[in-house]
Amino acid sequence: MSDIGSTTGAVLAEGMPGIVDDWSADKEAFQVPWGKAMMWIFLLSDTFIFSCFLTSYMNVRMSTTVPWPNPSEVFALTIFGNHMPLILIAIMTFILISSSGTMAMAVNFGYRKDRVKTAVLMLATAAFGLSFVGMQAFEWTKLIVEEGVRPWGNPMGAAQFGSCFFMITGFHGLHVSAGVIYLSVIAFKVYRGDYDKSNNYEAVEIAGLYWHFVDLVWVFIFAFFYLW
Amino acid sequence: MEATAEGQQHPISIYLKIWLLLFVLSTLSYLVDVLGFESYLRWGLILTFMFLKAGFIIAIFMHMAWERLALAYAILCPPLCLLVLISLMAIEAEYTFFTRLLFFSQ
């Protein structure tokens, strides 16, 4: 109750205003815009989600007595008569890195208050993301229709391969898709001049944090699932 | 290069350099597969390139290198707990593997 307040001489509010006061008054820990701190905390929680998926993948891959399908061969493509291991995944990796590059530039132009360049670069980022999702759809279709991979089994080896693959890449693809929508919305608001009115381009950097995180997760998926 | 109240403002060139660096590192990690390195050499190289890429993305693209330490520690330290989870799950996987070997060989 008000015991603590009376010792410090301050009057503490009760009920809902009290909760708000306790959580906000003179206790700011992070000297950044609140939206940025919140996005970082969301990304931290997302880190744990993806880590749980990757750890469970490690667990089932280590514990199976059936050989694991060789990702290098499973994801190989024959292009113009050349058999290329893992080529689609490599292209997807380069696309996602490029999208991170354009996003970083968009944030930079945002802080220079260059409305049009920011919007264009964000849309370019979204377009890269869209092509990434498109390639993923192609990859899934190939695996399901041609290779016969299912969440409960596949003709190439350990049954857990399918469930891990669909769970991990599916959840990542969902993040990319959500990011494309998110970036498009912010790009539209940038172009409309919303952030010129408020004279504050933080929203672009916060969207950028999310997008770089999606790229970051792909770095780990690429290493552990496709290359290992 | 200062993180000001105006936000994170850095020269464009640093982003372009990191972009190029990430391309090179990705190519190198792809080459690990193409060249068919095996075992500890393969895993070591994969992990090295992975951590380098992740580090550059977080530090430069996500501006963590210029944020205040309070934020950096609050975000970067909690994931260290995952090392415990990973270790426990690895021990568990070993156990399951050997149990299966025993069971399936009967």
Checking ipTM against 0.95, whether it exceeds it is no
Set of chain B residues whose Cβ sits within 8 Å of the Cβ of A30: 68, 70-71, 74
Amino acid at A190: V
Q: Are residues B63 and B86 in the same domain?
A: no
Q: Are residues B87 and B49 in the same domain?
A: no
Q: Are residues B22 and B49 in the same domain?
A: yes
Asked if the C-beta of B85 comes within 8 angstroms of chain A's C-beta atoms, the answer is yes
The segment(s) of chain A belonging to CATH 1.20.120.80 are 32-227
Could you say which residues from 18 to 37 on chain B have a Cβ atom under 8 Å away from some Cβ of chain A?
A: 18-19, 22-23, 26, 29-30, 32-34
Q: Check: CATH 1.20.120.80 for A32-227?
A: yes
Amino acid at A90: A
Q: Are residues B24 and B6 in the same domain?
A: yes
Q: Closest Cα partner for A186 from A112, A103, A100, A128?
A: A103
Q: What is the 3-state secondary structure (H, E, C) of chain B?
A: CCEECCEECCCHHHHHHHHHHHHHHHHHHHHHHHCCCCHHHHHHHHHHHHHHHHHHHHHHHCCHHHCCHHHHHHHHCHHHHHHHHHHHHHHHHHHHHHHHHHHHCC
Digit-coded pLDDT (tens) for A93-138 = 999 999 999 999 999 999 999 999 999 999 999 999 999 999 999 9
Q: Are residues B17 and B62 in the same domain?
A: yes
Digit-coded pLDDT (tens) for B48-71 = 999 999 999 999 999 999 998 889
Digit-coded pLDDT (tens) for A151-198 = 998 998 899 999 999 999 999 999 999 999 999 999 999 999 999 898
8 A C-beta contact, residue A190 and residue A21:
no
- For residue B77, give its domain range: 69-106
What is the crossing angle of helices A34-63 and A202-221, to 10°?
Answer: 10
Number of independent structural domains in chain B? 2
Contact across the interface for A108 and B67, Cβ inside 8 Å = no
Q: Are residues B52 and B75 in the same domain?
A: no
Mean pLDDT of B12-30: 94
Going by pLDDT thresholds of 50, 70 and 90, the confidence category of residue B1 is very low
Q: Are residues B90 and B77 in the same domain?
A: yes
Scan for tokens 């520690």, then name that residue: B73
Q: Are residues B47 and B97 in the same domain?
A: no
8 A C-beta contact, residue B30 and residue A93:
yes
